[in-house]
Amino acid sequence: MQFEFTEEQRLIQSMAADFFRDQGSSEQVRAALELAAGFDAELWQRMAAELGFAGLGIAEAYQGQALGLVESAIVFEQMGRTLLPSPLLGTGVLAASAIAAAGNDAQRQRWLPGIAEGSLTATLAPGLPSDNNGRLTPVGDGFNLAGQWTFVIDASSAGLLLLEAQADDETVLVAVPADRLGLTIERHTSLDLTRPHHTVRAEGVEVRSEEVLRNVQHFRVDEWAGRQKEPHRLDPCLREGRWWERAVSKKPDGSLRDFG
């Protein structure tokens, strides 16, 4: 069993440490938080396009680095030293993993290269028990989406939203542009200003058939433990998201349960 970083992993660690040390001073972090997006878009482009951080877990066929959770953890560890805000978690881990797992090849080709190169930001919104969970209804050649998703990270800066919804007895992900008519995004103030949370609401949102990702069983958290060695499974970060689901109170104010 290998307990030491490989040469490639040490290189990623050094590169990430240098970048975040140079770009993550307290003044730079405060300046980024005051921007409308909540992060520095130019720095994000450098993180994604030049350093390849957004595509660490994306397959080479979709312009990614084809690495894994260890390499992602190395980058997040260094980023956490400065608290530099970025859409890396929502875009490069949650959304990218969900598309890789639940999407077909055409859907992966459509969205993953943009994530890897930094031109597309995205986030994942799993349904919580306290939500009015999304419902996808057939209408003509497409669908109509309605519902509510809470505690969604990076939603206000995402170009693409992946929303969990029910279509008859099937759970699906709906991938829609954040500016699609009928979507509203409400930002909430949290203790961690670098990790904004949002409520996303959909009312009468038109969805095209090619925007529905149907292989959701490939990354359902309750099945992940028994299928983690199979290809295109969602990274265990989503399992942490489901842990958060259990931690969130069902009270209307969203207060937290006692962790004791």
What distance in Å separates the CA atoms of residue 228 and residue 144, rounded to the nearest whole number?
A: 33
Say yes or no to pLDDT of 252 above 50: no
pTM (predicted TM-score) = 0.80
**Containing domain of residue 36, as a range?**
7-117
92 assigned to some structural domain: yes
d(CA 74, CA 8): 11
Same domain, 103 and 207: no
Q: Do 127 and 211 sit in the same domain of this protein? A: yes
Residues in the chain: 260
Are both 128 and 224 inside the same structural domain?
yes
Mean pLDDT (whole number) for 162-186 = 93
- Domain boundary, last residue among 117, 151, 185: 117
Residue 14 neighbours by CB under 8 Å, 6+ apart? none
How many angstroms separate the CA atoms of 103 and 212, rounded? Answer: 8
User: What are the angstrom distances between the C-alpha of 95 and each of 6, 7, 180, 191, 253?
Assistant: 27, 28, 18, 24, 27
Q: What percent of the chain has pLDDT over 70?
A: 81
Say if residue 95's pLDDT is above 50.
Answer: yes
Number of domains in the chain: 2
pLDDT, tens digit, for every residue of 230-246? 333 333 433 343 333 33
- pLDDT tens-digit series, residues 105-150: 999 999 999 999 999 999 999 877 666 778 999 998 999 999 999 9
- State the pLDDT at residue 101: 92
**Where residue 184 sits, what CATH number does that domain have?**
2.40.110.10
pLDDT class of 4 with cuts at 50, 70, 90: confident
Residue 227 scores a pLDDT above 80: no
**Between 247 and 27, the higher pLDDT residue:** 27
- Residue 34 pairs with which residues in a beta bridge? none
- For the ranges 120-124, 155-159, 231-235, 254-258, the lowest mean pLDDT is seen at 231-235
The Cα–Cα gap between 56 and 26 comes to 26
Burial of 26 (0-12, 13-18, 19+ CB in 10 A): exposed
